[in-house]
Amino acid sequence: MNHETETRRLSAIMATDVVGFSRMMAADETSTLAALNQHRATLFDPAVARHAGRIVKLMGDGALVEFPSVIEAVACACEIQCAARDDPQSSPSIQLRIGINLGDIIIQDHDIYGDGVNIAARLEQLAPPGGICVSAAVEEIIRGRLQATFVSGGEVQVKNIDRPLRIFKWTPDGSLTEGDAAPPRPQPAKPVIAVLPFQNRSGDPEQEYFSDGISEDIITDLSKISGVTVIARNSSFAYKGKPVDLSTLGATLGATNVLQGSVRRAGQRVRITAELVEAASGAQIWADRYDRDLTDLFAVQDEVTLEIVNALKLHLSPAEKENVVRLGTESVAAHEHFMRMRGLLLYPGMDAKLWRGAVADGARALELDPDFAQAHAVLAIMHVLDYHNQWSGLPPQEALETAAKHAARALELAPDDVLPNHASAACAFWQGDQETALRLIEKVLRISPDYALGHFTKGEILLTQSRFREAILGFERAIRLDPAVRHQYLQFLAISHFLSGHYETAALMFRERVTLVPSTDIGRAWLAAALAQVGDTTGAGEVWAELRQMEPDFDFRARLARMPFIDDTALEQILGGLSAAALDPDN
């Protein structure tokens, strides 16, 4: 964390969550997502803007908002809840719980932390469906200043707060009586585990890759077990280096359990501590400490995984047990280089220099163990990235051929492993062999059903085959499994809806994409096209003007040409809408 950007201030914090969102998504993902986006675009976002709020972050179906004024925060919440109650258009109906607190917060890199935030999240969980729950400090300030009358909910004790909280509740119909309690939340059918990045206790920042790598190995092993859902690496690693309230994390990621730990490395000795806790209560389920030689690292990782299986009373099939304890290499040194390379695979700041360093680590891993299948697989994916970005300076086709050679060798060495099959699917996809790509990625998802990136890749393949409905399901599944990279997956989900002719839904999703990634140029171009298709020529023109101001030389045709799912029919569908709105894609 960059402590130079840390500041403190007193703020009103609003936390929101959709009532019964998991149930709604299970019943109808597409309609639920469309309804949520409609709610945000027409009710939530405009109300926050009118009351001078700042949306700090959107977290799946939840949101965290900061206000400079308690009165504005509560007025905004009341406006949202009343409008939602009176809105007959939304189907399914979006109903929020809202919690509001006044407290001291820490601002770091545009995010907010501290007890003030944690209490707001706890209050949201106590709010009645369609209603609001506030702290005593908030109620004291607004009393007599707003028409809304809040009813005492008594004193409650919440996790990680050392004092009882006096709470007050409100609903639009005024039906609450004192002491009303919020209903319990539904539990998932099987355990959902978030593996937080293990803390590096070695005293050497250069060892960060090592502690991260151990966490990633455990995520990979747990993902092979059908009796548990594992939150994707990107989502759990989003909490790296940040203060974490486990109850809030569990609610945000949908996790029932959290694995956390630390790694201390000194020479050829390593100490690993691990603790499995229940997210909602913080109760410890299992914990242990391992002091071993570095050569025993693989055995320790297997032990941790199997201890989690035992603690959660999961049943492993013989094939799952074999997969969990299967080693990619016997060489600890090769595995260390592999961890360095893998740690950069999805790094958002990847550039030519970092890419070259990662590839060098991959090459070194293969020098130490030429039959290390996972190293071949990740190197293949690295060269696919080079195919798109030309970091090596080689012609793109040569980069893709190099990727294909590594993928083929990985698949030869480990035909039933996730990474070799995924790497081979990616190579086949970009080589134009969609049938092979789909067959391989479906095998990946049979091995690891909750592999978010696999569902995303399958969505890409299906999108290319114009199987839009199936592609939509794949992208929705990826978003649910890996909410931290929703902003990336959302682009392709919106494109699927656009090419299906669902222009209103696509426009809502592209608008959310622009909100989540304000710097996106291609997202704005797609949004303008979607708005043009629904007849909002004014909105399309405004978005297009924004895009041209950001990127005067933006070439929409060239960007579309790089997308394998854009054929002549789709191109006409996209550019025709822009033309109808009197927008020139070439100018």
Judging by DSSP bridges, how do beta strands 199-200 and 229-230 pair with one another? Answer: unpaired
pLDDT at 88: 57
Mean predicted confidence (pLDDT) in 428-438: 92
pLDDT of residue 183: 39
Most confident of 225-229, 311-315, 400-404, 499-503: 400-404
* Spatial CA neighbour of 419 closest among 314, 346, 315, 493: 346
Q: Which CATH architecture has domain 451-587?
A: Alpha Horseshoe (1.25)
User: How many angstroms separate the CA atoms of 18 and 151, rounded?
Assistant: 22
Query: How many CB atoms are closer than 10 A to CB 35?
Result: 21
Question: Among residues 190, 270, 262, which one has the least CA distance to residue 225?
Answer: 190
More confident residue, 374 or 300: 374
Q: Could you tell me if 305 and 221 are in contact, meaning their C-beta atoms sit under 8 angstroms apart?
A: yes
More confident residue, 297 or 437: 437
CA-CA distance, 155 to 164, in Å (whole number)?
6
* pLDDT of 1 higher than 70: no
Whether 180 has a pLDDT exceeding 50, the answer reads no
82: buried, middle or exposed (CB in 10 Å: 19+, 13-18, 0-12)? middle
Compute the average pLDDT of residues 163-168. 80
**DSSP state string for 114-171:** SHHHHHHHHHHHHSPTT-EEEEHHHHHHHTTTSS--PEEEEEE--TT-SS-EEEEEE-
- Lowest mean per-residue pLDDT among 149-153, 397-401, 460-464, 545-549: 149-153
Which has more pLDDT, 372 or 518? 372
List, as one string, the DSSP characters of 341-382: HHHTTT-TT--HHHHHHHHHHHHHHHHH-TT-HHHHHHHHHH
**CA distances (Å), 168 to each of 143, 177, 267, in order?**
11, 10, 56
- Asked if 97 contacts 120 with a C-beta cutoff of 8 angstroms, the reply is no
What is the share, in percent, of the chain residues with pLDDT greater than 70? 92
CATH number of 192-326: 3.40.50.10610
When pLDDT is averaged across residues 179-206 and rounded to a whole number, the result is: 71
Residue 363 has what pLDDT?
96
Q: Which of 43-52, 452-461, 569-578 has the lowest mean pLDDT?
A: 569-578
Domain boundaries of the chain, sorted by first residue: 3-170, 192-326, 329-449, 451-587
Rounded Cα–Cα distance for residues 377 and 419 (Å): 6
Judge contact between 461 and 453, C-beta under 8 A: no
- Cα–Cα distance list, 410 to 16, 396, 414, 444 (Å): 45, 21, 6, 14
**Whole-number Å distance between alpha carbons of 567 and 555:** 17
The whole-angstrom separation of Cα 13 and Cα 15 is 7
CA 371 → CA 163, 298, 410, 452, distances in Å? 58, 17, 8, 27
Average of per-residue pLDDT across 175-194? 61
553 half-sphere exposure, CB direction, 13 A CA radius: 0
**For helices 486-499 and 468-481, angle between their N-to-C axes, nearest 10 degrees:** 160
Instruction: With CA atoms as reference, report the closest residue to 194 among 154, 151, 249, 155.
Output: 249
Q: Do domains 329-449 and 451-587 have the same CATH topology?
A: yes
- What is the mean predicted confidence (pLDDT) over 427-444? 94
For the domain covering 3-170, report its CATH number: 3.30.70.1230
The CATH number for 329-449, chosen from 1.25.40.10, 1.10.357.10, 1.10.3720.10, 3.30.930.10, is 1.25.40.10
Q: What's residue 8's pLDDT?
A: 66
Per-residue model confidence (pLDDT) at position 184: 42
pLDDT beyond 60 at 54: yes
Q: What global pTM score does this model have?
A: 0.62
Q: Are 151 and 178 in contact (CB under 8 A)?
A: yes
Q: Is the pLDDT of residue 485 over 50?
A: yes
Burial environment of residue 333 by CB neighbours within 10 A (0 to 12, 13 to 18, 19 or more): middle
pLDDT at 96: 93
pLDDT digits (tens, 9 = 90+) for 95-143: 999 999 987 788 887 788 888 888 899 999 899 889 999 988 788 778 7
Whether residue 86 has pLDDT greater than 80: no
H helices, E strands: number in the chain: 25, 14
Question: In this model, does residue 214 exceed pLDDT 80?
Answer: yes
More confident residue, 488 or 251: 488
With tokens 């995010």, the residue in question is 111
pLDDT digits (tens, 9 = 90+) for 263-318: 888 888 888 888 999 988 888 888 888 888 877 777 777 777 778 877 877 776 77
Summarize pLDDT for 318-365 with one digit per residue, the tens.
777 666 656 678 888 898 899 889 888 766 667 889 999 999 999 999
Q: What is the mean pLDDT of residues 355-384?
A: 94
Q: Which of 24-38, 54-68, 83-97 has the lowest mean pLDDT?
A: 83-97
